[in-house]
Chain A
Amino acid sequence: MTETRIERHHYDVVVIGAGGAGLRAAIEARLAGKKTAIISKSLFGKAHTVMAEGGAAAAMGNVNSRDNWQVHFRDTMRGGKFLNNFRMAELHAKEAPQRIWELETYGALFDRTSDGKISQRNFGGHEYPRLAHVGDRTGLELIRTLQQKIVSLQQEDKQEFGSYDARIRVFSETTVTELLLDGDRVAGAFGYYRESGEFVLFEAPAVVLATGGVGRSYKVTSNSWEYTGDGHALALRAGATLINMEFLQFHPTGMVWPPSVKGILVTESVRGDGGVLKNSEGKRFMFDYVPDVFRKQYAETEEEADRWYTDPDNNRRPPELLPRDEVARAINSEVKEGRGTPAGGVYLDIASRKSAEEIRRRLPSMYHQFKELADVDITREPMEVGPTCHYVMGGVEVDPDSGAAYGAVRGLYAAGEVSGGMHGSNRLGGNSLSDLLVFGKRAGGHAATYADQLTTRPAVSVAAVEAAVETALAPLQRDTGESPYQLQQDLQAVMGDLVGIIRREGELEDAMRRLAELRERVAKVSAVGTRRYNPGWHLALDLRNMLVVSECTAMAALERQESRGGHTREDYPAMDPKWRSVNLVCSLDGDAVRLTRKPLPKMRPELIGLFDRAELAKYLTDEELAEFDALTEEANN
């Protein structure tokens, strides 16, 4: 390996990922005066965050002044079925408004209310209109704003130091394949430039993971090639732990037809703005699927539901706005019972409910996208939609305040979709974009502090770098193995068919067996061609990450014998309070995934006091309820 050239860089903080979380973390680290690198698999400004449409949830109370952080906190916990890390949900609800306002100082231009404030829209699971938005391209606004803020910091540095890259540098189209350790401390990250295939080593005492999700392991997904669970796998291999990996969000309304738009999401704001779901018989079926926990808040008749759009204070909301797992499950049942569309979805109809002009004004990019991509005119015909793999709630187990990874490693931080806990078993729409900002900032800041406190810089070992080079080159040097594309397809089939939206014990066991087979095949994958911008080679390297993360998901899904949020077991269809207080934690034992149970942290009295006893009764065990009663009694005395 001696002839392999490796470029070396020294930084204080290395941020892996240039989505909302990564960029916000990098800004914070740079503001703390640290020399910061941002690494991203694709070009600067193209990360997944760009695709988010609906908005960013923050209880600013601009549209309904009754909104505040307590209400947002309550909605988040409810949405996550009380499995959330309460402290993260609390911090998120409290800090989101500041993070959004801060974006305005970076130049963001959100849609406005009539009194000139940031407008907020309704979204599934949020009690009040809460999502700051820009038409239906909120993610683009967010990422562009952060990108431009970074540019502005670079301009300051250019003035001060003569170079744009003096204190913050973006390494685009660069993939990190390995984290390097010095004992239990992070010492750096190793990767390759996609363009040239050359290797690069970043020596840094603190690394922030902000690599997003894992959706590429599924057949129908809204996620791009980047979502191969790299950050999850890097964390595992570095000795950190993952939690809640059984919880994946299947977006209820991804397009299922025509094929050019398959997997593309129809934003929930279509439902927020009056769109309704109908089966092949033309029935508005969501009324049949309101679970008991939500009965009080949702309308029972079409008339009441329709009145809500204009008079939300005196009517209950339409069931189309139920949390997305409920909607996904409802669609799934309709299709299974033979009332689906020919392509296996249901109809989402806004055309018959709003004027063409209004649809175009409120959903411009949605309209534009379907018109251009599929020649579907959403102002005239209903869309064919069905569940699509969309978001992973599980991720790196972190300290809620600092984003530092738990487990046997120091100097590793995680924020955004790659981190776990915040969303519990199910994420509310719009809570991700604000999550990126809140915890991106925190992780970046704490990583900087950590780097400051170190007295000695951890050192990268030569042997570890050589091993990383060898692993990276292996697929190119083998010509006996299978094609990475074939392997990816097989993996997607296993996950889509056996660990999909509705799960069963037998199928999950089968999945475990097949994943074990795949593991051997992936270990022998070969790629043709050279190191220069070779997508086959890149995929071959991503596969092992996809595989280990899929194993975590399958194992945890098999273990959790209940249905909750983004995890539905046909053989255990109900939520079980005993499972509510358990997190499933994955770690690596050598090469193999190990699963352990860990109790959830207990909510502080003033937070649990925000809920009704009647509501808590649906989630808590009898002992927990007794404790709650004792608390309220104490408070009343």
Chain B
Amino acid sequence: MGSKRQFRIWRGDETGGDLKDYTVEVNEGEVVLDVIHRLQATEAPDLACRWNCKAGKCGSCSMEINGKPRLGCMTRMSTFEESETVTVTPLRTFPVIRDLVTDVSFNYEKARETPAFAPPADVAPGDYRMEQVDVERSQEFRKCIECFLCQNVCHVIRDHDENKPAFSGPRYFIRAAELDMHPLDARTDRREYAQSDMGLGFCNITKCCTEVCPEHIKITDNGIIPMKERVVDRRYDPLVWLGNKIFRRGQVPQTSATSGHSSGAVTSGGTHGGAHAHGGGPHVGGVHSHAGGSHDSAAERQAQQGVNWHREVPHPTAPAVDASGKLPLTELTFNKAAAPSPFGDDVTFPLPPEHLNFAHPQQDEPKH
């Protein structure tokens, strides 16, 4: 049943190290963590590796297997060719302690900075009433096992230690989203906070985090994008503003952005209900251009064939504005080193064609 397999495992500590070769017996039905345990029991008793549950529930055994961030206990050996050498390295984004163990304290610091749940003042314990559909949105994010694979893979900090102080990372964006969508959370500034203090603006929706999440949490689609959209709803959004100028005489479809901020949706009571209708279900006729596709393949295909004002694409991250809706005058009051772009910090010009709601009718048929 068993066969000999080749492994290369990074051994070392913060002063350096290298990949060491091991030949190990592997049995049918085993996972990478089983192999590491076998090594510990035989050739390498001091091989350092975290684990707890061996069932994909605790998020301890995060490592990079053939360069991919994975849980060691959830990576079946049968997914590799018999002849393949399996390379196991520690998470790259965090400092190495020893072998496969890294210093993940960054994440715990960010967790500590994220404002906690604020219980509603006037509801006694035992009197909390919530609908299943309403809690499900937040429950998706509460599935998180804190494996930090998403944090590890995010390019904003993966090779950019300098971004770490200002960027909380996808794990904590969904924590903010979870609280934002919590039916009874008393705080109403979760998204603003994510934007101003957690570095949500750094995220340009590459979706790498979603891809590696072992819990299959839709970090970007269900967490980050709705937060970005709703942050922008209440802010100066240059393209919405531009649209209003052009279609002044009412041809413009009502957008959540235009209807939203002028009528002051920032009041507490209304936001929760409004936010929910907005976040989960289809958007209410929001028309926005650029900054990434809408991830809705039908709308994308249509959009490729001409103007489609109903394609829903994520909003750009507009800069923070003050109470009067103006850009901050000085850099001192702003959270970045330079003045904000009036078009949103994640927008570059010229806009890439796929971020426009117009495409030439004779353009090539899309690949998908």
Binding site for B on A (CB under 8 A): 42-48, 50-51, 60, 97-98, 101-102, 104-107, 109-112, 114-117, 119, 134-135, 137, 140-141, 144, 148-149, 151-152, 154-155, 164, 172, 195, 224-226, 257-261, 263-264, 365, 368-369, 372-375, 483-486, 489, 527-530, 532-537
A-B contacts besides A101-B126, A151-B112, 7 pairs, CB < 8 Å: A60-B126, A195-B103, A369-B55, A530-B46, A533-B98, A534-B48, A535-B45
**One of A151, A155, A263, A536 near B45 (C-beta < 8 A):** A536
Do A483 and B112 have beta carbons less than 8 Å apart? no
Please tell me if the beta carbons of A104 and B56 are within 8 angstroms of each other in the complex: no
Query: Which A-B residue pairs are the 7 nearest by beta carbons?
Result: A107-B117, A152-B116, A529-B46, A258-B29, A116-B129, A536-B45, A101-B125
In the bound complex, how far is the Cα of B50 from the Cα of A226, in angstroms?
11
B97–A164 CB distance below 8 A = no
Q: A530 to chain B: closest CB distance in Å? A: 8
Interface check B150, CB cutoff 8 A: no
Measured in the bound complex, the distance between the Cα atoms of B59 and A80 in whole Å is 33
Q: Is the CB of A137 within 8 A of B125?
A: no
Residues 39-64 (chain B) with a chain A CB within 8 angstroms: 40-41, 45-60
Within the complex, what minimum Cβ distance (angstroms) separates A397 from chain B?
A: 28
Q: Which residue of B lies closest to A486 (CB)?
A: B41
Report A405 CB to chain B, min CB distance, Å: 27
B50's partner among A42, A115, A154 (CB-CB below 8 A) is: A42
Q: Once the chains bind, are A264 and B131 in contact (CB under 8 Å)?
A: no
What separation, in Å, do the CA atoms of A485 and B145 have in the docked complex? 29
Min distance, Cβ A97 to any Cβ of chain B, angstroms: 7
The answer to whether residues A151 and B49 also contact, given A46-B58, A260-B29, A533-B101 and a CB cut-off of 8 A, is no
Can you list 30 pairs linking A and B with CB atoms under 8 Å apart?
A: A42-B52, A43-B50, A46-B52, A48-B52, A50-B52, A51-B57, A104-B125, A105-B125, A109-B135, A109-B138, A112-B132, A115-B129, A141-B142, A148-B116, A151-B116, A155-B112, A155-B116, A164-B112, A172-B108, A195-B97, A224-B58, A259-B27, A260-B34, A372-B74, A372-B76, A373-B74, A374-B76, A484-B45, A527-B46, A536-B46
Q: Shortest beta-carbon distance, B123 to chain A, in Å?
A: 8
Taking the closest CB of chain A, its distance from the CB of B197, in whole angstroms, is: 13
Contact across chains for A140 and B145 when beta carbons are under 8 A apart: yes
B111 interface contact, C-beta 8 A: yes
Q: Is the CB of A134 within 8 A of B58?
A: no
CB atoms of B129 and A117 under 8 A apart: yes
Contact A195 B76 (CB under 8 A): no
Decide if A50 touches B56 in the complex (CB within 8 Å): no
Question: Residues on B close to A: CB < 8 A?
Answer: 13, 27-31, 34, 40-41, 45-60, 73-74, 76, 78, 97-99, 101, 103-104, 108, 111-112, 114-117, 119, 125-126, 128-132, 135, 138-139, 142-146, 179, 182, 185, 214, 216
Cβ contacts under 8 Å, B28 to chain A = 258-259
A369 close to B40 (CB less than 8 A): no
Measured CB to CB, the nearest residue on chain A to B135 is A109
Q: How far is the CB of A139 from chain B (nearest CB, A)?
A: 8
- Given the complex, which residues of A lie within 8 Å of B132, measured CB to CB? 111-112, 114, 119
Report the separation of the CA atoms of residues A485 and B52 in the bound assembly, to the nearest whole angstrom. Answer: 17
Contacts of B119 in A (CB 8 A): 105-107
| CB-based contact B116/A137 at 8 Å | no
Known: A51-B57, A105-B125. A535 touches B142 (CB 8 A): no
Chain A residues, Cβ within 8 Å of B116: 107, 148-149, 151-152, 155
CA of A115 to CA of B127, assembled, Å: 12
Given contacts A43-B104, A226-B52, A373-B55, A528 and B125 within 8 Å (CB-CB)? no
Chain A nearest CB from B299 CB (Å) reads: 27
Which of B47, B53, B114, B130 contacts A51 (CB under 8 A)?
B53
Residue picked from B53, B78, B111, B130, most chain A C-beta under 10 Å: B53
Compute how far the CA of A148 lies from the CA of B114 in the bound complex, rounded to whole angstroms.
Answer: 10
* CB–CB A375/B76 < 8 A: yes
Residues of A within 8 A of B41 (CB): 483, 485-486, 489
CA distance A116 to B50 in the complex (A): 40
Whether the pair B58, A51 counts as a contact (CB closer than 8 A) is: yes
Contact check: which of A46, A102, A109, A374 meets B60 at CB < 8 Å? A46
Whether the pair A528, B46 counts as a contact (CB closer than 8 A) is yes
Q: Tell me which of A372, A373, A537 contacts B46 (CB under 8 A).
A: A537
Contacts of B55 in A (CB 8 A): 51, 261, 264, 369, 373
* Docked CA distance A140–B145 (Å): 8
A528 to B44, CA, bound (A): 9
A107-B117, A115-B129, A258-B29 as given contacts; A225 in contact with B139, CB under 8 Å: no
Q: Give the residues in chain A near B53, CB-CB below 8 Å.
A: 48, 50-51, 224
Tell me whether B48 and A45 are in contact (CB under 8 A): no
User: Nearest CB to that of B137 among chain A residues?
Assistant: A109
- Whether B117 and A152, one on each chain, are in contact in the complex, defined by CB atoms closer than 8 angstroms, is yes
Contact yes or no, B30 A535, CB < 8 A: no
Q: Which of these, B40, B97, B130, B179, contacts A533 with CB under 8 Å?
A: B97
Assembly CA distance A141 to B112 (angstroms): 18
Complex alpha-carbon distance, A373 and B30, angstroms: 9
CA distance A484 to B114 in the complex (A): 42
In the assembled complex, the Cα of A375 lies from the Cα of B108 at a distance in Å of: 33
Q: Which residues of B contact A527 (CB under 8 A)?
A: 45-46
Known A264-B54, A372-B56; contact A259-B48, beta-carbon cutoff 8 A = no
Bound form: Cα–Cα A50–B53 in Å: 9
Q: CB distance B129 to A224 under 8 Å?
A: no
B115 contacts A155, C-beta separation under 8 Å = yes
How many angstroms between the C-alpha atoms of A226 and B60 in the bound complex? Answer: 13
Q: What is the CA–CA distance of A51 and B53 in the complex, to the nearest angstrom?
A: 7
A534 to B47: give the CA distance in the assembly, Å: 7
- Residues of chain A with a CB closer than 8 A to B74's CB: 372-373
| Complex contacts, B40 vs chain A, CB 8 Å | 485, 535-536
Q: What separation, in Å, do the CA atoms of A97 and B56 have in the docked complex?
A: 30
Residues of B within 8 A of A109 (CB): 130, 135, 138-139, 142, 182
Closest Cβ–Cβ distance, residue A17 to chain B (whole Å):
14
CB pair B60–A42 under 8 Å, yes or no, is yes
User: Is the pair B57, A225 in contact by a Cβ cutoff of 8 Å?
Assistant: no
- Which of A45, A115, A225, A535 has the most chain B CB within a 10 Å cutoff? A535
The residues of B that contact A51 with a CB separation of less than 8 Å are 53, 55, 57-58
* A259 touching B34, Cβ below 8 Å: yes
Which chain A residues lie closer than 8 Å to B27 at the CB level? 259
Give bound CA distance, A42 to B214, whole Å.
Answer: 20
- B residues less than 8 Å from A224 (CB atoms): 51-54, 58
User: Looking at the complex, which one of B51, B99, B130, B145 makes contact with A225 (CB distance below 8 Å)?
Assistant: B51
Bound complex: CA A614 to CA B50 (Å): 52
What's the minimum C-beta distance from B149 to chain A, rounded to whole angstroms? 14
Most buried by B among A112, A117, A259: A112
Residues of A within 8 A of B103 (CB): 195
Tell me the minimal C-beta distance from B190 to chain A in angstroms: 13
Contact A535-B115, Cβ < 8 Å, known A51-B55, A109-B142, A144-B142 = no
Which chain B residue shows the least CB distance to A45?
B146
* Shortest beta-carbon distance from A95 to chain B in Å: 12
Interface centre among A257, A263, A264, A373 (most CB of B within 10 A): A373
Closest residue of chain A to B138 (Cβ to Cβ) is A109
Which residues does chain A contribute within 8 Å of B138, judged by CB atoms? 109
User: What is the CA–CA distance of A263 and B54 in the complex, to the nearest angstrom?
Assistant: 10
Given contacts A137-B57, A140-B57, A259-B29, contact A104 B45 (CB under 8 A): no
For residue A140, which residues in chain B have a CB less than 8 angstroms away from its CB? 57, 142-143, 145
By a CB distance below 8 angstroms, the chain B residues around A110 are 135
Q: How far is the CA of A219 from the CA of B53 in the complex (A)?
A: 15
Distance to closest chain B CB from A66 (angstroms): 18
Complex Cα spacing A295 to B98, Å: 57
Contacts A151-B111, A374-B29, A533-B48; A134 near B142 (Cβ below 8 A): yes
- The chain A residue with its CB closest to the CB of B179 is A107
**Chain B residue, CB-CB nearest to A485:** B41
For residue B47, which residues in chain A have a CB less than 8 angstroms away from its CB? 535
Considering only CB atoms, which chain B residue lies closest to A158 in the complex? B112
A181 to chain B, nearest CB (A): 31
CA distance A368 to B145 in the complex (A): 14
